[in-house]
Structure 1
Amino acid sequence: VNNPIPSNLKSETKKAAKILREFTELSNRNGPDKLIPPHVIAKAEGLAIISVIKAGFLISARGGSGIVIARLADRRWSAPSAIGIAGLGGGFEIGVEVSDLVIILNQRRAIEAFTKGGNLTLGGNFTVAVGPVGRNVEADVALRSTAAVFTYCRSRGLFAGISLEGSYLIERKETNRNFYSRDIRASAILNGDVEQPHECHDLYHILEAYTEAYFFQDQQKLDPTSIFRFDLFFCPSSRLFVHPDLRLSRGRRTLVVTAIHPYTGQQPGDLSFAPGDRITVITKSDSQYDWWEGQLDDGRVGIFPANFVTSGPVN
């Protein structure tokens, strides 16, 4: 987790990029069940990325800092606006917790509320739900489709979790003034009155790479009467180059992939495998971020994270 103490906007943006990378890249501690699904970010109207400290004895208080960015009319991301978070909680709570949060603003009205008043209150008129992850994407999105805000949290401390109901996202005017060298409101920043700062390149690169690969795969339209080969493209969440080769076999397309990461099934119906195992794909989507169904050479059938396999050359 990162430092929740407010700092200048350049540092806040660097921190935001680090936090976002931790929620979007596979790693030893991040399996596919723990990643933010790419389409959640791709369809978001805005993102708030912040570090928060929560402390309390009976009554808890939280505070922290970060940035907010919004979609512009052309679907590019706006320049960042510096924000803080504040709130109080009740109940029997003792301890200290530091958390990194990615808050997905799903509805344009959440952005508009923030730009009009400079602040946004979570909860109340803006329903807050824990964001969907991994295999439960479709079911979770259907259940939570009315939520204005999704939250993703990584914590270290004594509290079991963090509730954002009643929290306030607050515009840090002085921080914005110092960074942009002029008086400028969050509304102007989030509506595109300033260009993306070059200091924020890392953040935009992560966002664009994570969503572009998703859209590339999602938009493929396959002709079932032809043989296909896609061009080489980069799958950022797995750091793989993927080169699917789809061939016809007895009138049907078959795809055989090779495991490049070990996977141990976590639920009944999961397909466990070791690096080098070959899997015949039975059911797949157009996205390598999804769960596919396949069969191993020993006859076992199950679902598996598509980011753990490749149909290209294995080093």
Structure 2
Amino acid sequence: MAFLEKFRKGAEKAGIQATAFLKEGSSRVQSGSQSLVQGFSLPGEADKAAKILETFLADPSHPQSALNAIPKAVLQRARGLAVFQVIKAGFVFSGKAGSGLVIARLPDGSWSAPSCIATGGIGWGLQIGADITDFVIVLNSEDAVRAFSMGGNVTIGGNISAAAGPIGTGGSVQASLAHPAPMFSYSKSKGLFAGLSLEGTALIERKDANTDFYGSAIPARDILGGRVPPPEVASRLYEIIEAAEGLDESGLPEEAYVPTPEGGHIQVQGHQTVFDAGH
């Protein structure tokens, strides 16, 4: 009888915890869904991307923020950026959906007009609740940009590989750029960096959103190739990138790390290679 009573109380406690988690998750999904819906047009995506990117890059008015941001050196040599948000929710079955945009560096050093992208999927597992994760993928090569320019899907780990990117400042960051992965992936959930693996994630060109904004079915290769002038609605996004690229790092300590999937830190020292967080 004592065992049964203990089991009953344990089950009641688990039920209360699950209910609370579901309520919290539902609230987060509702809030995130509103953001997702508002950002489903290109102007909305540009506004959302600017807000997301601002949390990943250093604030020039607070140089110390560079110690916990995508490195200036990584940003300066980037050939492109993909910025998107993913909402994941489920109970036994799970689903995820996300949207964002991609921009490319043009030969003169400026940035292209944005092209809208989306991702999604379903899964199975013991999952209760919801989560919202922001992603920034730094495209380190022309091949990576070309993958987003061809239309259709870009499957990370399939079409092209990605590694968890370094965070911080100093020579160790420069060393990691000697032979970088085609893409560096960065993610934040609950405001904290995490080295989440994106293997198998498919990012799809949103031709509908591009057509609605640009007025005709302009292919991604033309948008990212500079054949479309950068729109005013993306000006805040460009301003944030420009400010972070111009950050004065003099006087800052040399500190760099790679985030683990759990949000921990792997220090990067000397000429240590930056490995994929999933390995």
Length-normalised TM-score, structure 2: 0.68
Aligned length: 218
Specify whether residues 37 and 197 from structure 1 end up closer, same or farther in structure 2 by C-alpha distance, changes over 3 A only.
Answer: same
Deviations 1:222-251 (A, max 9, x none): xxxxxxxxxxxxx5xxxxxxxxxxxxxxxx
What is the identity, as a one-letter code, of the residue corresponding to 2:76? A
CA contact (8 A) 1:134 1:290 kept: no
What is the identity, as a one-letter code, of the residue corresponding to 2:184? F
SS at match of 1:97: strand
Q: Which residue of 2 aligns with 1:33?
A: 67
Partners of 1:124 and 1:202 lie apart in 2 by: 33
- Superposition CA RMSD, Å: 3.1
Partners of 1:58 and 1:129 lie apart in 2 by: 29
- What residue ranges of structure 1 are gaps of 5+ in the alignment? 215-234, 236-286, 294-315
Specify whether residues 57 and 128 from structure 1 end up closer, same or farther in structure 2 by C-alpha distance, changes over 3 A only.
Answer: farther
CA contact (8 A) 1:99 1:153 kept: yes
Q: Does 1:17 align with 2:50?
A: yes
Partners of 1:60 and 1:124 lie apart in 2 by: 23
- What residue ranges of structure 2 are gaps of 5+ in the alignment? 1-30, 256-279
Partners of 1:291 and 1:60 lie apart in 2 by: 43
Identity %: 44
Q: Does 1:132 align with 2:166?
A: yes
Partners of 2:254 and 2:68 lie apart in 1 by: 17
Partners of 1:107 and 1:190 lie apart in 2 by: 14
What is the identity, as a one-letter code, of the residue corresponding to 1:208? E
Structure having the higher helix fraction is: 2
Deviates more, 1:95-104 or 1:122-131: 122-131
Q: Does 1:151 align with 2:185?
A: yes
Q: Which residue of 2 aligns with 1:205?
A: 239
Q: Among 11, 27, 36, which residue is 1:4 paired with?
A: 36
Deviates more, 1:164-173 or 1:19-28: 19-28
Partners of 2:92 and 2:40 lie apart in 1 by: 29
CA contact (8 A) 1:37 1:137 kept: no
Partners of 2:125 and 2:114 lie apart in 1 by: 35
Q: Which runs of 4+ in 1 moved over 6 A?
A: none
Deviations 1:15-51 (A, max 9, x none): 11111111113499x9443211111111111101111
Report 1:54-69 matches (<5 A): 54-57=88-91, 60-69=94-103
Partners of 1:136 and 1:20 lie apart in 2 by: 21
Q: CA deviation at 1:87?
A: 4.0
CA contact (8 A) 2:156 2:199 kept: yes
CA contact (8 A) 1:110 1:120 kept: no
CA contact (8 A) 2:58 2:70 kept: no
SS at match of 1:206: helix
CA contact (8 A) 2:210 2:218 kept: yes
Q: CA deviation at 1:123?
A: 1.3
Q: Which residue of 1 aligns with 2:107?
A: 73
Q: Which residue of 2 aligns with 1:306?
A: none
Q: Among 132, 152, 157, which residue is 1:98 paired with?
A: 132
Larger C-alpha radius of gyration, 1 or 2? 1
Length-normalised TM-score, structure 1: 0.61
Specify whether residues 123 and 93 from structure 1 end up closer, same or farther in structure 2 by C-alpha distance, changes over 3 A only.
Answer: farther
Specify whether residues 88 and 123 from structure 1 end up closer, same or farther in structure 2 by C-alpha distance, changes over 3 A only.
Answer: farther
